[in-house]
Structure 1
């Protein structure tokens, strides 16, 4: 059993939907929970629900776009419970339109809430987690970012950016036992109202995603994982690199790329790089360069 007793968790956007379910389940597993929401009343209601069930929780009304407010929330949490072990970056909004019709203000707002909101919250806990040599952070990405979705260029861009943030923070946090992962949920929340048939909405209950959160914040959690979750099903998404081919340079290089396209995109023996520099190492290797020799062969 994954026991979170003694752990302190902050869940953003937890006044309803996915965040509420995450907060309730973390509390049921023993964590003390800071329920954050832009609406104080909503945060307080979920915190009360947790306390009524025998758990420990407080509600904090703050926008994740306001770093000073986020920092104050983290500082208050540490004052009250001496630490922060878990951060669930869940807060989000939608402003769906095709890119042709989208106002740039709506693009910026979605980036500010999803991406910069997660950056703000993570930055506020990062040094504390490093000092205590323990941290579990979950970013909320989306299939819209991983694979695209019509009318969601702003949302998709923000959600894919969170994957890049997760990849790097997982590497930087490893020495201090900070594990950083993404969850890509499919859930019937207010954000999906009117977008899916009612029969599908009924099957996509937010509570069915939250068990994945528990796994991603436990002592034995993975790191650098993109966990997809919906309707009680769980999958993993990967950003892979094909083996590709070496073309070289010259006036006919573009045409050679076209001629070699089937080999370039061939997924046989594709792999998940351990870091971004792995792409460069693979390309140099195919070009006949090795670090041992220090020169092209």
Structure 2
């Protein structure tokens, strides 16, 4: 069973390298190297390796790691077609949720019939959505959609809350951000400015922003700041995806993220907090410009 999303796209790309002979049988696949290559954290890189093992394209050797397998003829076919189908269905389903076209409780059968998927494809879709936190299994039967933001006004309110919360986290007496975290975050932002903004999926862009803000807030060593931010992020995902139909503003956001990292690295936390407050205020202003997009209408 294939899982769509960031990990699956990485796995598909590596799988194609294997099928095309660019990664020979026996090649050692290292999660950190893959994470660096695709400018992601180790988690999706490790998930991608697990997918390659499940697909039979690689094998896991105890105490040694993951290695490329010899392929059978049946394994030579690319996996992108099914991934693309599930990605498109995910987008349709997300839009149906935002527009209230689905009931609060759904079954796998209903989704299979609504979107013309196989049982395996529906299970793949359900696994992803449950993992993202906006659908949860009901005891006994079916799935229920969790609380989600469905209006632009509500999304603006989350940013106003974040503007009050996040800069304060940077001023905590216990604040300390590891240099390795700064370097990892900087690499992702530089990747965005070097073309990633145009090529990354909505999911990847969203996760990149979530990871940046949760990392700098988490460095406060005050778990209450991070818990509050995670709660906000868990309920704004779908509207955030819709907002990514307009990507020009991400160049400015990436540059501002880099400026905040530079200030934190120098220990200038008060300046970083002030910059972060301005950064979030700018995002709030930008949301007004894309309100039609957030409401499911085209931006003129």
Normalized against structure 1, the TM-score is what?
Answer: 0.22
Higher relative contact order (CA 8 A, sep 6+): 2
The two structures have a TM-score, normalised by structure 2, of: 0.22
More helix by share: 2
Structure 1 or 2: more strand by fraction: 1
